[in-house]
């Protein structure tokens, strides 16, 4: 990056850091990526730009306010954003952006797997089953993924050898992945822990009807696992709240569930929109301290279809005052696979107390 470009980005980042309510320093790379995202998209709403940039939504908001103020970005039809002539000149001449093409694989959408054969038949059956799922409960921080991505998760586990003959536990399951993997009849055992009585009842009824033998257990993960479940599983899967302690707690309970005499595997999901890189570092550092190591991180693997944007950090920062709620799914997360690479030691061994579990602004 040349000196002129660096100075321009530094100035924009400095001004962006002073915008909004949440006190936070915006990086020059975040500014660059937001401009690049809008340059490639041409025209898009705030939520799509956030998703495409891969940046923390609080930073994107601060940057967008600055770019609008500087005449680099303008609104079209109220909710749509586009670069002005000044913005296009900045992108092309100063930041050296040339291409607008997207090169992600169209067959798999970058997920590295495709649904076909017998799994395609399971997908059709699964879609019918989950169409009658219970309503989403935002009080439990539920945000279900698209049914196709639940099947994609199952296929990914299969491809990695983490499905056949395995004993699998799901720590929270508003995505109903327990049904997706159980419909294959490939795992040796499937158990699911959740606090939502209605969700648990739904899974139990489907399990009985389809003879899936899913173990359905009501349990609050703020408490340690029941003794009969700790150290009993080959694989765990969880999609935690995207808070610092939500992520660490759920993964820690997952590690607690793994057998110590084999090289156990875990899966969890984490976003960029709600998780700044500082939080990624702290969570992955905790993963390493628990005796696990990441083997795969698949970007934008999961798309969430019923996310509540009227809460969490969006309200605190005031995003809703400037931009209308999203009209289409935009919120995505990475799928992260971790594997035992040392002595297993849960990060949180006792009871989790306090309100930090749902503090989205705690970095």
CB 180 within 8 A of CB 153: yes
CB 339 within 8 A of CB 264: yes
What are the strands of the beta sheet with 235-238, ordered from one edge? Answer: 215-218, 189-194, 167-171, 235-238, 265-271, 332-340, 292-303
The whole-angstrom separation of Cα 299 and Cα 354 is 31
Q: Which residue's structure tokens are 């990441």?
A: 294
Structural domains in the chain, CATH included, are: 3-94 (1.10.10.10), 118-358 (3.40.50.150)
Give the model confidence (pLDDT) of 217-254 as tens digits: 999 999 999 999 999 999 999 999 999 999 999 999 99
Q: What is the pLDDT of residue 311?
A: 63
pLDDT at 108 over 80: yes
End-to-end CA distance of the chain: 29
CA-CA-CA-CA dihedral for 46, 49, 55, 60, to nearest 10: -40
Higher pLDDT, 138 or 74: 74
pLDDT at 197 over 80: yes
Q: Which of 123-137, 179-193, 346-360 has the lowest mean pLDDT?
A: 346-360
pLDDT at 274 over 80: yes
pLDDT at 53 over 90: yes
Q: HEC profile for 137-206?
A: CHHHCCCCECHHHHHHHHHHHHHCCCCCCCEEEEECCCCCHHHHHHCCCCCCEEEEEECCHHHHHHHHHH
Checking phi first, is residue 222 left (phi over 0); if not, alpha (psi -120 to 50) or beta? Answer: alpha
Q: Which residue's structure tokens are 């607008």?
A: 100
Q: What is the pLDDT of residue 100?
A: 94
pLDDT at 96 over 80: yes
The model's pTM is: 0.96
3-state DSSP assignment of residue 17? helix
Q: What is the mean pLDDT of the chain?
A: 95
DSSP 55: -
CB 334 within 8 A of CB 299: yes
Confidence of residue 312 (pLDDT cuts 50, 70, 90): low
Mean pLDDT of 54-64: 97
Angle, vertex CA 255, rays to CA 254 and CA 256, nearest 5 = 90
pLDDT at 289 over 70: yes
Radius of gyration of the chain (CA): 22
Q: What percent of the chain has pLDDT over 70?
A: 99
Angle, vertex CA 175, rays to CA 267 and CA 115, nearest 5 = 75
pLDDT at 204 over 90: yes
Give the model confidence (pLDDT) of 135-176 as tens digits: 988 888 888 999 999 999 999 999 999 999 999 999 999 999
pLDDT at 354 over 90: no
User: Could you tell me which residues come within 8 angstroms of residue 238 by beta carbon, excluding any fewer than 6 positions away?
Assistant: 170, 171, 172, 250, 251, 253, 254, 266, 267, 268, 269
The whole-angstrom separation of Cα 254 and Cα 170 is 8
Q: What is the pLDDT of residue 179?
A: 98
Confidence of residue 7 (pLDDT cuts 50, 70, 90): very high
Question: Which sign does the torsion angle of CA 338, 289, 278, 358 carry?
Answer: positive
């Amino acid at each position: 990056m040349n000196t002129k470009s660096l100075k321009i980005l530094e100035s924009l980042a400095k001004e962006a850091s002073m915008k909004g309510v949440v006190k936070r320093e915006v990086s020059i790379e975040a500014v660059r990526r937001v401009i690049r995202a809008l340059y490639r998209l041409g025209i898009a709403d705030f939520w799509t730009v956030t998703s495409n940039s891969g940046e923390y939504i609080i930073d994107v908001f601060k940057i967008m306010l600055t770019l609008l103020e500087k005449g680099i970005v303008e609104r079209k039809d109220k909710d749509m954003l586009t670069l002005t002539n000044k913005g296009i000149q900045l992108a092309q001449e100063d930041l050296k952006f040339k291409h607008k093409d997207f090169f992600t694989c169209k067959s798999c959408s970058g997920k590295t797997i495709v649904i076909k054969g017998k799994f395609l038949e399971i997908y059709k059956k699964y879609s019918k089953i989950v169409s009658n799922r219970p309503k989403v409960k935002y009080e439990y921080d539920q945000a279900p993924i698209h049914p196709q991505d639940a099947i994609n998760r199952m296929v990914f586990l299969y491809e990695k050898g983490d499905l056949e003959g395995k004993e699998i536990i799901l720590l929270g399951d508003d995505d109903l992945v327990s049904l997706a993997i159980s419909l294959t009849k490939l795992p040796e055992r499937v158990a699911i822990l959740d606090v939502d009585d209605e969700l648990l009842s739904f899974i139990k009824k489907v399990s009985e009807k389809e003879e899936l033998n899913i173990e359905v257990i009501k349990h609050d993960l703020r408490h340690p696992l029941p003794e009969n479940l700790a150290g009993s599983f080959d694989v765990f899967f969880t999609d935690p709240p995207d808070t610092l302690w939500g992520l660490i707690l759920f993964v820690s309970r997952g590690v607690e569930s793994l057998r110590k005499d084999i090289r156990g595997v875990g899966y969890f999901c984490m976003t960029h929109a709600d998780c700044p890189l500082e939080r990624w570092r702290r969570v992955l550092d905790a993963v390493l301290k628990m005796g696990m190591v990441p083997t795969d991180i698949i970007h934008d693997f999961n798309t969430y279809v019923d996310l509540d944007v009227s809460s969490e950090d969006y309200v605190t920062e005031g995003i809703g005052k400037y931009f209308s709620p999203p009209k289409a799914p935009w919120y995505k997360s990475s799928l992260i696979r971790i594997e035992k690479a040392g002595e297993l030691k849960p990060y949180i061994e006792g009871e989790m107390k306090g309100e930090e579990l749902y503090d989205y602004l705690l970095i």
